[in-house]
Structure 1
């Protein structure tokens, strides 16, 4: 049997979820992917995650420069982890957390919450991509 593509692996992961937030998770997934054509998806750290798929200068893989967002499904909430979110100047207050490793998080409780925050989320993602592209 052929190995599943990254997209197929994410599809399978979401299909198998027993979470009541499944519809919200799929909505959020599609929302993130539509922000920019250079956003790819994969299963990483046992969760759906999103990365920059464009050209980049060589870098140490342990710096995780491509990694943008990782889903963390925990106790009836959807948490998006931005591994290097501290680099983004988020004036909306959407990004939260004071972690020593530059992580920031956004927590969603349901589809209504996602829709209420999607404009700010889109801006954070676009800002992150702009920073990444100009640092090349």
Structure 2
């Protein structure tokens, strides 16, 4: 029996693929692009499927989530408050002590280099064992 055949439930990566397909609009395209950037920065990233349909990316701890809403795709960094954000990408969940988020709206461009730097910083923070 193959490894994939031994599991009744779908893999988190497959569920994320399906979610992107189900959205069928700019939100799916945005989520797909964000996912690709995360994987470019960290090819070792682990994808999970949590909280009834939220893609979550891990490496030595949670890096970020990719939530989709009617008018926004929200990328929430688990330890965002501890990350330097020189490009000012964080534009949501700014009041908390731990998390920070970026809301992407239809038609917005992604500053890919700045976002990759933020993802890289989150992976580095997790690898350092810092809890901040």
Provide TM-score, normalisation by structure 2: 0.79
Contact 1:85 1:104 in 2 (8 A): yes
From 34, 43, 59, give the equivalent of 1:37.
43
Contact 1:84 1:103 in 2 (8 A): yes
CA shift, 1:112, in A, is: 4.8
What do you get for the CA RMSD once the two structures are aligned?
A: 2.1
CA shift, 1:108, in A, is: 1.3
Contact 1:79 1:105 in 2 (8 A): yes
**Partner in structure 2 of residue 89 of structure 1:** 84
In structure 2, stretches of 5+ residues that fail to align are 1-6
**SS, match of residue 21 in structure 1:** helix
Provide TM-score, normalisation by structure 1: 0.77
Q: Paired residues, what number?
A: 122
Contact 2:89 2:102 in 1 (8 A): yes
Does the C-alpha gap of structure 1 residues 111 and 36 become closer, same or farther in structure 2, counting only changes over 3 Å?
farther
Contact 1:33 1:40 in 2 (8 A): no
In structure 1, stretches of 5+ residues that fail to align are 55-65
From 109, 116, 123, give the equivalent of 1:113.
109
